[in-house]
Structure 1
Amino acid sequence: MNRWHLWKRIIPLLMVFSLLLTGCSLVGQGSNPIDPKASVAEEQYGLILLSLGIMILVVIVVFVLYFYAIVRYRRKPGDDSIPKQVEGSHKLEIIWTVIPLILLLILAIPSVAITFSQDEDYTEDPEVIQVKAIGHQFWWEFEYSDLEIYTAQDLVLPVNQRVQFELTATDVKHSFWIPGMGGKMDTNPGNINLLYLDTPAEPEVLLGKCAEFCGASHALMDFKVRVVSEEEYDAWVANMQAPTAAVDADVQSGEELFKQNCMSCHAIESGFPGLGPNLKGFADRELVGSYLEMTDENIFKWIKNPQEVKGGSTMPAIPLEDDQFHDIVKYLKTLTLE
């Protein structure tokens, strides 16, 4: 029986710790708000630390007073007297009213200041990269407005650069989030929200994601942010704007099948949007369908049965034979920027 009483105390404690652990994640994965990679995220992280510090201070003070009162004013054995009845204390009431107000001001002033400073509009600034991010079920389209470049899933940006995002969606509400670079913002159909972020000082790859439940494959709606050097970015822009090269003779059958079955939705030149992702530089991407490794087998699975790979996707299955799908895969692997 005594052992059972012990477990009755331990189990709730373990449940509390389990709840706390759900908020933990690995630092260094390029997608964590407590591992900021750029200035906007660093300012927001500073607010997190400030609010956390104030909350910890309040909890400590409350618990110290709580346990002090329990010990100091507990009923002692053999003491049946009635304690002194205290009706109130103006001094204490002023103290526990003023201190919370001071703590709120300490938290509110920098919060309001940073909120307004991060609400600047850089859409007319020629030194800032302009990107329109469009949420689709379940992929991301990126339009580099000043460069007339459309691409999908891989957002390529130079180091140490401010980027002005115009956020919208075509179907349902999504939420654009690059945790390593800053907070999230909703993308709403028929509406444009503005968000600016700064890129890291060093080249690296960050994870972006949709942070608003948007359907069956919401959890698979990730994208990559490739932060590269200025030289590599300029080369990427030049390659994206260059015409797609002609394919070899052994790939032409796949090219014809692609034109007949896929080109009505997917452009292969970066200057054109489409109903589906723009495939310029498709073979250079690391992932298929935003989460599968870029292999011939996974490309085959994706184009043959999209619903099996990503449920709820608007990409339809096309009635082709396996060898024809393999021909299309072979053609798609030629869509590189090199």
Structure 2
Amino acid sequence: MMKGLKKWRFPAMLAALALVLSGCGENYLSTLRPAGEVGREQFNLLILTSLIMLLVILVVVVIYVAALVKFRRSRLGEDHMPQDVEGSHKLEFIWTAIPIVLLLIIAIPTVYYTYKLGDVSAMEKADEEGNPEHLVVDVTAKLYWWEFEYPEYGIVTAQELVVPTDEKVYFNLKAADVKHSFWIPAIGGKMDTNVDNLNKFYLVFDEESKDLKDGVFYGKCAELCGPSHALMDFKVKTMNRDDFDGWVAAMKDTENQVADKDSSDAGEAAFAQSCIGCHATSAVGSTGAAGPNMATFGDRNRVAGYLDHNKENIVNWVQDPQKYKPGNLMPAFDSLSDEDLDAIADYLLGLKVEE
């Protein structure tokens, strides 16, 4: 009985692996379904190198099997001595030339794309009036959330990156505390965010995200950065240039959206009393706040980057952040009354710039 079970262990493992990997093809998250120029070029390079490696494996296996069959002892006898080919210039040339050719086939496109994708010289270009020709986003990675500043427009947001489609978007990447890594799997490869230096790269977003599951692409931190590294997610909303310009205008309209502790709105007053020291409610400004900007909180896809976006999770998060994201820097507000917590949650859900 046990022998029969052991015989099926390997096929069962393969079936389980296939089932798990079948969930890796979602177009909002998968590197195997690129939705941008950079991701597509990296994917093509991956396919090229994989095919070459597969070819090498197949050739080696064929030669190995052929040798086993042709020169097996039962066929040729105990006394057979194979032909001595040591010093054959022909064979030495073949097994030297073939690897060189294969390496050149891999190296030429790899070097080309390395320099192409690393070229950020256009980031500094401006038109005759001094306006930048390309959108530049300053990304700051923090424990365990993301801040996005648009210096051209004087606005800042957090946790959800908003970008236009069909144009290059350039990024300045840095970290505020420890090393992180900025990665949008479906759009392009990752880039580290460091404390001591600035990394730069660009991405191109080909598809609008509104038709995707949850209406966003998923972004991740790809560098082990602490106990809540796996929960350090962000979302990406992509839209056409006209819609993006409308979003920017709506963000600018929040300039005077500042929570007032004397407000007649109980949620706004409670937020101003307890939260305003770390969280801004206006998108107009610059980076550097201790906590994420809340101007677009009602439009977000998740609470704390990964929890369902609803009132219950907001209340639970405010009461005990360490329970949901160990190691984050937000203090617990477990002394607030249930009425204040509910009011703050309602106030946050009302902070929107999108229709």
TM-score past 0.5 threshold: yes
Query: 1:68 matched to which residue of 2?
Result: 66
Compare 169-178 and 14-23 and name the one that shifted more.
Answer: 14-23
Shift, 1:327, TM fit: 1.7
Compare 275-284 and 313-322 and name the one that shifted more.
Answer: 313-322
Query: 2:350 matched to which residue of 1?
Result: 334
Count of residues in Structure 1 that have an aligned counterpart in Structure 2: 336
Q: Tell me, yes or no, if the aligned pair for 1:251 and 1:327 is still in contact at 8 Å.
A: no
CA 1:54–1:252 in structure 2 vs 1: closer, same or farther (change >3 Å)? Answer: same
Shift, 1:264, TM fit: 0.7
Shift, 1:235, TM fit: 1.2
CA 1:86–1:19 in structure 2 vs 1: closer, same or farther (change >3 Å)? Answer: farther
CA 1:69–1:257 in structure 2 vs 1: closer, same or farther (change >3 Å)? Answer: same
Q: Does 1:270 align with 2:283?
A: yes
Query: 2:219 matched to which residue of 1?
Result: 208
Query: 2:306 matched to which residue of 1?
Result: 291
Q: Mind listing any 5+ residue stretches in structure 2 that lack a counterpart?
A: 126-131, 211-215
Q: Tell me, yes or no, if the aligned pair for 1:170 and 1:190 is still in contact at 8 Å.
A: no
Query: 2:267 matched to which residue of 1?
Result: 254
CA distance in 2, matches of 1:251, 1:223: 33
Q: Tell me, yes or no, if the aligned pair for 2:38 and 2:187 is still in contact at 8 Å.
A: yes
Compare 88-97 and 67-76 and name the one that shifted more.
Answer: 88-97
Query: 1:113 matched to which residue of 2?
Result: 112
Query: 2:339 matched to which residue of 1?
Result: 323
Q: Which of 196, 204, 207 pairs up with 1:190? A: 196
CA distance in 2, matches of 1:17, 1:71: 32
CA distance in 2, matches of 1:22, 1:330: 38
Shift, 1:328, TM fit: 1.2
Q: Which amino acid aligns with 2:239?
A: V
Normalised TM-score (structure 1): 0.92
Report sequence identity in percent: 43
Shift, 1:79, TM fit: 2.4
CA distance in 1, matches of 2:266, 2:12: 61
Q: Tell me, yes or no, if the aligned pair for 2:157 and 2:283 is still in contact at 8 Å.
A: yes
Shift, 1:52, TM fit: 0.6
Compare 100-109 and 121-130 and name the one that shifted more.
Answer: 121-130
CA RMSD of aligned residues (A): 2.5
Task: Write out per-residue CA displacement over residues 127-168 of structure 1, whole angstroms, 9 at most, x where no aligned residue.
Answer: 211001111111110011111111001111111121110000
Normalised TM-score (structure 2): 0.87
Q: Tell me, yes or no, if the aligned pair for 1:159 and 1:203 is still in contact at 8 Å.
A: no
Q: Does 1:38 align with 2:36?
A: yes
Q: Does 1:140 align with 2:155?
A: no
Q: Tell me, yes or no, if the aligned pair for 2:258 and 2:281 is still in contact at 8 Å.
A: no
Q: Tell me, yes or no, if the aligned pair for 1:171 and 1:189 is still in contact at 8 Å.
A: yes
Q: Which amino acid aligns with 2:90?
A: K
